[in-house]
Amino acid sequence: MADVTDVIYLDNNATTRVAPEVVEAMLPAFGPLYGNASSMHTFGGQMGHYIATAREQVAGILGADPEEIIFTSCGSESDNAAWYSATETQPEKRHVITTKVEHSAVLAYGHYLEDKGYEVTWLGVDDKGQISLEELERAIRPDTALVSMMYANNETGTIFPIAKVAEIVKSHGVQLHVDAVQAVGKEVIDLSRLPIDYLALSGHKLHAPKGIGALYVRRGTRFRPYVKGGHQERGRRAGTENVPYIIGLGKACELAASNMEKERTQVAALRDRLQEGLLAAIPHCKINGDQAHRLPNTLNISFEAVEGEALLLQLDQYGICASSGSACTSGSLEPSHVLRAMGVPFNYAHGSVRFSLSRYNTGAEIERVIEVMPTIVSELRKISPFAAFLKK
Amino acid sequence: MWEYTETVRDHFLHPRNAGVLEDANVIGEAGSLACGDALKLMLKVNEQGIIEDAKFQTFGCASAIASSSALTELIKGKHMDEAAKLTNKEIAEYLGGLPKEKMHCSVMGEEALEDAVRHWKGLPSKAHAEEGRLVCKCFGVTDLQIIKVAKENNLTTVEEVTDFIKAGGACGSCKDDIQSILDKLHSMEKPLQEIRPVPRMTNVQRMQKVMTIINEDIAPRLALDGGSIELVDVDGTTVVVALRGACSGCSASQLTLKNLVEKTLREQVDSAINVVEA
Ligand SMILES: Cc1ncc(COP(=O)(O)O)c(C=O)c1O
Ligand code: FES
DSSP letters spanning A224-258: --SS-SS-HHHHTS-S---HHHHHHHHHHHHHHHH
CB of B171 within 6 A of ligand 2: the answer is yes
CB of B168 sitting under 6 A from ligand 2: yes
pLDDT band at B199 (very low <50, low <70, confident <90, very high): very low
Q: Residue B127 pLDDT > 70, yes or no? A: no
Rounded CA-CA distance B244/B268 in Å is: 23
The CA distances from residue A263 to A23, A254, A356, A364, B201, in Å, are 21, 14, 12, 17, 82
Residues of A with a Cβ under 8 Å from any B Cβ are 305-310, 313-314, 317, 326-329, 331-335, 346-347, 350, 382-387
Round the average pLDDT of chain A to a whole number and report it. 94
Q: Give residue-wise pLDDT tens across range B211-224.
A: 778 877 787 777 76
Backbone angles phi, psi at A370, to 5 degrees: -65, -30
Question: A318-374 pLDDT, tens per residue?
Answer: 999 999 987 666 666 678 899 989 999 888 889 999 999 999 999 999 999 999 999
What ipTM does this complex have?
0.85
* Whether A307 and B101 lie within 8 Å, measured CB to CB: no
Are A363 and A353 spatial neighbours (Cβ–Cβ below 8 Å)? no
Does B245 score more than 90 pLDDT?
Answer: no
Q: Are B173 and B134 in contact (CB under 8 A)?
A: no
Average pLDDT, chain B: 84
Catalytic residue among B35, B136, B174, B247: B35
A80 within 8 A of A73, measured Cβ to Cβ: no
Query: Cα(B91)–Cα(B35) distance, rounded to whole angstroms?
Result: 20
Nearest by CB to residue A347, choosing from B33, B139, B166, is: B33
> Is B174 annotated in the active site?
no
Asked if B13 is an interface residue toward chain A (Cβ–Cβ < 8 A), one would say: yes
Q: Is a pLDDT exceeding 60 seen at residue A54?
A: yes
What is the number of other CB atoms lying within 10 angstroms of the CB of residue A280?
A: 11
Q: With H, G, I as helix, E, B as strand and everything else as coil, classify residue B72.
A: helix
| pLDDT band per the 50, 70, 90 thresholds, residue A2 | low
Amino acid at position A269, single letter: A
Report pLDDT for A97: 98
Coil vs helix vs strand at B191: helix
Q: Which range among A80-89, A231-240, B257-266 shows the weakest confidence by mean pLDDT?
A: B257-266
Torsion sign across C-alpha atoms A303, A305, A309, A312? negative
The fold of the B6-127 domain, in CATH, is: Sufe protein. Chain: A (3.90.1010)
Query: What is the Cα–Cα distance from B12 to B6, expressed in whole angstroms?
Result: 10
Ligand 2 within 6 A of CB of B136: yes
d(CA A277, CA B240): 61
Q: Which helix (DSSP H) or strand (DSSP E) does residue B261 occupy?
A: none
Q: Above 90 in pLDDT, residue A212?
A: yes
What is the Cα–Cα distance from A336 to A313, expressed in whole angstroms?
A: 18
Give the contacts of B222 (CB within 8 A, at least 6 positions apart): B228, B229, B243, B245, B247, B256, B260
Residues of B in contact with A377 (CB under 8 A): none
Q: Would you state the pLDDT for residue B207?
A: 73
- The reply to whether CATH 3.90.1150.10 applies to domain A4-14+260-381 is yes
Asked whether residue B129 carries a pLDDT value surpassing 50, the answer given is no
B235 within 8 A of B188, measured Cβ to Cβ: yes
Q: Is the CB of A74 under 6 A from ligand 1?
A: yes
Is it the case that residue B59 has pLDDT exceeding 90? yes
Tell me what pLDDT residue B195 has.
Answer: 41
Q: Is B62 on the interface with A (CB under 8 A)?
A: yes
Cα(B236) to ligand 2 centroid in Å equals 35
**Domain ranges for chain B:** 6-127, 130-189, 203-277
The residues of A assigned a catalytic role are 328
Query: Best of A99, A109, A181 to mutate for ligand 1, by most ligand atoms within 8 A of CB?
Result: A181
Shortest CA gap A118–chain B (Å): 21
Question: Are residues B65 and A383, on separate chains, in Cβ contact within 8 Å?
Answer: yes
Reported as type and span, the H/E element at residue A98 is: strand A95-99
Nearest atom within ligand 1 for CA of residue A77: 11
CA distance B253 to B239: 15
Which is nearest to A200 in space by CA: A154, A168, A144, A251?
A: A154
Fold of the domain spanning B203-277: GMP Synthetase; Chain A, domain 3 (3.30.300)
Q: What is the 3-state secondary structure (H, E, C) of chain A?
A: CCCCCCCEECECCCCCCCCHHHHHHHHHHHCCCCCCCCCCCHHHHCHHHHHHHHHHHHHHHHCCCHHHEEEECCHHHHHHHHHHHHHHCCCCCCEEEEECCCCHHHHHHHHHHHHCCCEEEEECCCCCCCCCHHHHHHHCCCCEEEEEEECECCCCCEECCHHHHHHHHHHCCCEEEEECCCCECCECCCCCCCCCCEEEEEHHHCCCCCCCEEEEECCCCCCCCCCCCCCHHHHCCCCCCCHHHHHHHHHHHHHHHHHHHHHHHHHHHHHHHHHHHHHHHCCCEEEECCCCCECCCEEEEEECCCCHHHHHHHHHHCCEECECCCHHHHCCCCCCHHHHHCCCCHHHHCCEEEEECCCCCCHHHHHHHHHHHHHHHHHHHHCCCCHHHCCC
Structural domain boundaries in chain A: 4-14+260-381, 20-256
Neighbours of A218 (CB within 10 A): 18
DSSP tag of A217: E
Summarize pLDDT for B71-102 with one digit per residue, the tens: 999 999 999 999 999 999 999 999 999 998 89
Binning pLDDT at 50, 70 and 90, where does residue A29 land?
A: very high
What's the pLDDT band for B198 if we cut at 50, 70, 90?
very low
Known catalytic residue at B138: no
Fold of A20-256: Aspartate Aminotransferase; domain 2 (3.40.640)
The answer to whether B131 and B248 are in contact (CB under 8 A) is yes
Q: What is the pLDDT averaged over residues B13-17?
A: 95
The answer, yes or no, to whether residue A271 has pLDDT greater than 90, is yes
- Which secondary structure element, helix H or strand E, spans residue B74, and what is its range? helix B62-75
Distance B250 CA to ligand 1 centre (A): 54
Helix axes B175-189 and B143-152, enclosed angle (nearest 10): 50
B128 pLDDT exceeds 90? no
Find the range with the poorest average confidence among A177-186, B71-80, B150-159.
Answer: B150-159
Torsion angle of alpha carbons A190, A193, A199, A201, nearest 10°? 0
> What does DSSP assign to residue A102?
S
Would you say the CB of residue A105 lies under 6 angstroms from ligand 1?
yes
CA A280-A282-A284 angle, 5° bins: 110
Contacts of B148 by beta carbon, 8 Å cutoff, 6+ apart: B242
Alpha carbons A237 and A68: distance in angstroms, whole number: 12
Bridge partners of B59, per DSSP, are B38
* Cα B107 to ligand 2 centroid, rounded to whole Å: 18
Relative to beta strand B141-142, strand B134-136 is antiparallel
Q: Which residues of A146-162 are buried (b: 16+ CB within 10 A; e: fewer)?
A: bbbbbbbbbbbbbbbeb
- Write the pLDDT tens digit of every residue in A105-145: 999 999 999 999 999 999 999 999 999 999 999 999 999 99
Q: What is the pLDDT, as a whole number, of residue B138?
A: 84
Could you read off the pLDDT of A4-27 as tens digits, one per residue? Answer: 568 999 999 999 999 999 999 999
Q: How confident is the model at residue B246 (pLDDT cuts 50, 70, 90)?
A: low
The per-residue DSSP string of A113-171 comes to: HHHTT-EEEEE---TTS---HHHHHHH--TTEEEEEEESB-TTT-BBP-HHHHHHHHHH
Distance (Å) from the C-alpha of residue B90 to the closest C-alpha of chain A? 22
Measure the CA–CA gap between A267 and A366, rounded to whole angstroms: 11
Q: Tell me what the mean pLDDT of segment B65-71 comes to.
A: 96
- CATH number for the domain running over B130-189: 1.10.10.1100
Residue B137 and residue B126 in contact, taking contact as beta carbons nearer than 8 Å? no
